[in-house]
Amino acid sequence: MTIKTRFAPSPTGHLHVGNIRTALHNWMFAKKQGGEFLLRLDDTDKERSKEEYVTAIRADLAWLGIHPDSEERQSARFDRYEERFEELKAAGRVYPAYETAQELDLKRKVQLGRGKPPTYDRAALDLTDAEITAFEDEGRKAHWRFKLDHDTPIEWTDLIRGDQHFEPGLLSDPVIRREDGSWLYMLPSTIDDMDMGITHVVRGEDHVANTAVQIQMFQAFGADTPEFAHEALLVGTEGKLSKRLGSLGVGGFRERNIEPQSIVALLARIGTSDPVEPIADVMTLVQTFDFSRFGRAPARFDDEELAQLNQKIVHLLDYEDVQDRLPDGMSAAAWDVVRPNLHDMGEIDAWWQVVTGPVTAPELSAEDQEFLNQARATLEGLSWSETIWKDWTGALKESTGRKGRPLFMPLRQALTGLDHGPDMGALLPLIGRESALARLQNISS
């Protein structure tokens, strides 16, 4: 059997971090099993689905390194949904109902007031032909519900949550089609999973009750049921669901110069028993992906953890990984020198300016300025080589008696304008002889 998973976003907005995590886990599981990963665009909502969001979803997945093996669109499958819907009608597994939203809300309130679960009472099953005609005459349109089999408990073994059990009599018969004929989520999704050979459905734990209903839909069609994995939802550092997590997406990550490898490394591991580590090679993460390592506790998304992880990932990136994002003229050797000082790639231009200039040195004492005059004269008399920093500071130590911070710090400040940064032994050869002498001259002039 070929393992096949799917990611099924609605193109009614941009992907947020929870969507991204779902897509990533579906892709990783399929990749590890040598299977297939499908992008299915659930675009049945004609009013809210936009082509710009379709384009954005594809681009976001590609930026993260997630490449679907195939793509489907629900809007191209309405005839198929109609065909399978008619089969359910013929089998007596769907029925029309005419209650308004206000009437249903009143029913729920009455049931809650009596201490009962607010499930649909199936009153529509008892409607007479005359009552249906009366509703139609007053302009009401039917919405359609799927009729659950109350005699058969719903059970499955979830890959994360373990054995699951639902009594269908405690569930409402779900509305599957609106009054205007448009489709709600559950029936088209079930039909697609059957037709497209989906073997594993990986999604958030907020879909557990939907799964119970959809299992009966699979059974009503005489189809095999996929395996299910329901993940704990993401929460923020405050320990509860955050509105911000619902809007945090690829665009925000890119604005903050977060690397896609950092997002993948974090979302692959949070909520599992495996440590979050700065792993830039996604296939290493794929090989350790295992639903048995996922816990039931909410997965905590921490911005600070992401920032720290991102810094470590940047320090692992090779020149070839970032070459197209580096300033003109920056070599592999320069990248190796600057890389350990980066928090993120947004700082690269500023660090390259330290090499190419101009730089502005801080105010220095008269004593330090006199020392730098001596330093410039000493540097002019030395042969330039890869060991120039060692040779230069060694000569200055001997001639001035300075050592440690009083020796090194004025030189760093004059040459870079900063009191911190890359190792000067590696940085000075990049700055170059003429530029270094000019910067020292600027201090004394």
DSSP one-letter string for 364-407: --HHHHHHHHHHHHHHHTSPP-TTHHHHHHHHHHHHH---SHHH
Give the N- to C-terminal CA distance of the chain in Å, as an integer.
78
- Start-end of CATH 1.10.10.350 domains in the chain: 357-444
Closest-CA residue to 260 (of 30, 17, 26, 7) = 17
Proportion of the chain above pLDDT 90, given as a percent: 94
Q: How far is residue 12's CA from residue 52's CA, in Å, rounded to a whole number?
A: 9
Grade residue 245 by pLDDT with cuts at 50, 70 and 90.
confident
The 3 state secondary structure assigned to 231-294 is ECCEECCCCCCCCHHHCCCHHHHHHCCCCHHHHHHHHHHCCECCCCCCCCCHHHHHHCCCHHHE
pLDDT in tens, 337-366: 999 999 999 999 999 999 999 999 899 999
pLDDT, residue 242, reads 62
H or E element at residue 38: strand 36-41
What token pair was written down for 8? 């099924």
Find out whether 288 and 275 touch, Cβ atoms under 8 Å: no
Q: Quick one: average pLDDT of 315-339?
A: 96
Residue 65: which region, alpha, beta or left (left: phi > 0; alpha: psi -120 to 50)?
left
Q: Is the pLDDT of residue 187 over 80?
A: yes
β-partners of residue 96 are 144
Q: How far is residue 352's CA from residue 284's CA, in Å, rounded to a whole number?
A: 32
pLDDT, residue 236, reads 86
Q: How far is residue 442's CA from residue 439's CA, in Å, rounded to a whole number?
A: 5
Q: Quick one: average pLDDT of 211-220?
A: 98
pLDDT, residue 271, reads 94
Find out whether 25 and 59 touch, Cβ atoms under 8 Å: no
H or E element at residue 28: helix 17-32
Give the 3-state secondary structure percentages of the chain, helix then strand then coil, rounded to 5. Answer: 50, 10, 35
Q: Is the pLDDT of residue 209 over 60?
A: yes
Q: How far is residue 212's CA from residue 13's CA, in Å, rounded to a whole number?
A: 27
CA atoms within 13 A on the CB side of 133: 3
Grade residue 246 by pLDDT with cuts at 50, 70 and 90.
low
pLDDT in tens, 256-304: 999 999 999 999 999 999 999 999 999 999 999 999 999 999 999 999 9
Q: Is the pLDDT of residue 445 over 80?
A: no
pLDDT, residue 239, reads 66
Q: Between 405-416 and 366-380, two packed helices, what is the crossing angle to 10 degrees?
A: 80
Q: Is the pLDDT of residue 241 over 60?
A: no
Taking domain 357-444, whether its CATH number is 3.30.70.1230 is answered by no
What token pair was written down for 376? 């410039």
What token pair was written down for 100? 């308004």
Q: In this structure, what are the phi and psi dihedrals at residue 225, rounded to the nearest 5 degrees? A: -95, 130
Proportion of the chain above pLDDT 70, given as a percent: 98
How many CB atoms are closer than 10 A to CB 6? 27
Q: Is the pLDDT of residue 240 over 90?
A: no
pLDDT in tens, 11-53: 999 999 999 999 999 999 999 999 999 999 999 999 999 999 9
pLDDT in tens, 358-395: 999 899 999 999 999 999 999 999 999 999 999 999 99
- Start-end of CATH 3.90.800.10 domains in the chain: 89-154+161-177
Q: How far is residue 87's CA from residue 220's CA, in Å, rounded to a whole number?
A: 10
pLDDT, residue 443, reads 84
Question: What 3-state class would DSSP assign to 362?
Answer: coil
pLDDT in tens, 61-71: 999 999 999 99
Query: What Å distances lie between residue 246 and 14, 54, 114, CA to CA?
Result: 10, 18, 35
pLDDT, residue 248, reads 85
Question: What 3-state class would DSSP assign to 36?
Answer: strand
Q: For residue 31, say whether it is annotated as part of any ligand binding site.
A: no
- Class in CATH terms, 89-154+161-177: alpha beta
